[in-house]
Amino acid sequence: MKEVQILATGSYVPDRIVTNDELATVIDTNDEWIKTRTGIGERRITTGENTSSIAAKAALKALENSSIKPLDIDLIMVATTTPDCYTPSTACIVQNIIGAANATCFDISAACSGFIYALNIAYQFIKNGTKKNALIIGAETLSKILDWNDRSICVLFGDGAGAAILGCGEEKGLIQIYTGSDGKGANLLKCNAVPIDINNKKLKEKIPQNADNEGYHYLSMEGREIFKFAVKAMGETIKTLLSSSGLTIDDIKYIVPHQANLRIIDYMIKKLKVDKKKFYTNLQYYGNTSAASIPIALDQMNREGLLEKGDKILLVGFGGGLTWGGTIIEWTIDKQISS
């Protein structure tokens, strides 16, 4: 059976940059607090675009860098916490924008681990021969679910999208994949759906409203608990991937972590006793873009020419749900792409 490989990558971030200093003009915060606690210097915010639009732009960039045509794509998955609609899926909207009429399309809800979950699902489809070319996208417009008056949370996130096309090849591109979830931590990182609002007065009296879902519809987070979870999940995921693949940390050229917080990454660098350069980071420029953070980073590394054929790269994510997961890939693209 043919092996599964990443064939191309693409990404898109909105032009609008919001620096820490600019945020400090509208809420009670400052560059020093944000940088020392998180490492974030600035983030991108969409102006008038929704998740499907930025997801499609990332997808088109990936397609430009491959010999795959939109009609060759037979599976599209969008990992997102911030879909355009409850229905249709963001993936279906993207399908229409890019003209991938032969694809089966659906969204993945696994917060910041969503891209890894999508990789895992695409791998299964391609490996068992059901699908040939999968387009997977992590895309977020988190700015629309942030409370911009809450300094403890709005400074952390940004908008963006990253994509990868997966297909078949001779070399084993996806070496190992691992995912996990723990619903006991569901309340630690949460954004409620819009509550039922029965606008017929007579009916409203007869049907009780869902109390669970009332009130706050912005992202909320127990920061310290998430910090503890993140370092544990990352450590265990890396350990599991290495032991199940028979590799050591020295075999891995780069670790691409979910770009949540530099302090989480620094903690892992110390724990694993590895060179800082092994961990790729770009959260300084984009903040936490949830499901988009890993594919944006991977595409940037590809465009910067950091990845060479044969390199082993470990991607690791963690997020709301709680969810976590990782993969070890071998880079199989021999042609470096220009930015």
Shortest distance, CB of residue 176 to ligand ACO, whole angstroms? 22
Residues 6+ apart with CB under 8 A from 26: 148
- List the structure tokens of 236: 């265990």
Q: Which is nearer to ligand ACO, 37 or 312 (CB)?
A: 37
Residue ranges that bind ligand ACO, judged by CB under 6 A = 29, 33-34, 37-38, 112, 151-152, 155-156, 189, 221, 223-224, 226-227, 230, 260-261, 263, 288, 318-319
C-beta separation of 264 from 234 below 8 A: yes
What is the rounded CA–CA span in Å between residue 7 and residue 35? Answer: 35
Separation of alpha carbons 259 and 143, rounded Å: 16
For residues 167 and 319, which CB has a smaller minimum distance to ligand ACO in the complex?
A: 319
Q: Specify the residue, 39 or 70, whose C-beta has the smaller distance to ligand ACO.
A: 39
By beta-carbon proximity to ligand ACO, the closer residue of 148 and 227 is: 227
In angstroms, the CA 304 to CA 329 distance is: 18
- How far is the C-alpha of 23 from the C-alpha of 25, rounded, in Å? 5
Q: How far is the CB of 109 from ligand ACO (least distance, A)?
A: 14
CB 158 within 8 A of CB 45: yes
- Catalytic positions are 112, 258, 288
> For residue 190, what are the CA distances in angstroms to 69, 111, 112, 213, 226?
37, 10, 12, 11, 11
Rounded-to-integer distance, Cα 316 and Cα 214, Å: 34
**Of 15, 71, 37, 289, residue with least CA distance to 163:** 289
CB 264 → ligand ACO: shortest distance, Å? 6
Give Cα separations from 128 to 1, 3, 326 (angstroms): 9, 10, 21
**Polymer length of the chain:** 339
Closer to ligand ACO by CB, 106 or 227: give it. Answer: 227
Q: Looking at beta carbons only, is 179 or 288 nearer to ligand ACO? A: 288
Write down the least CB distance from residue 153 to ligand ACO, Å.
8
Nearer to ligand ACO, 165 or 189 (CB): 189
Give the nearest distance from C-beta 37 to ligand ACO in angstroms: 4
Q: In the bound complex, which residue of the shown chain has the CB atom lying closest to ligand ACO? A: 223
The CB-of-182 to ligand ACO minimum distance in angstroms stands at 13
| Min dist. Cβ of residue 265 to ligand ACO (A) | 10
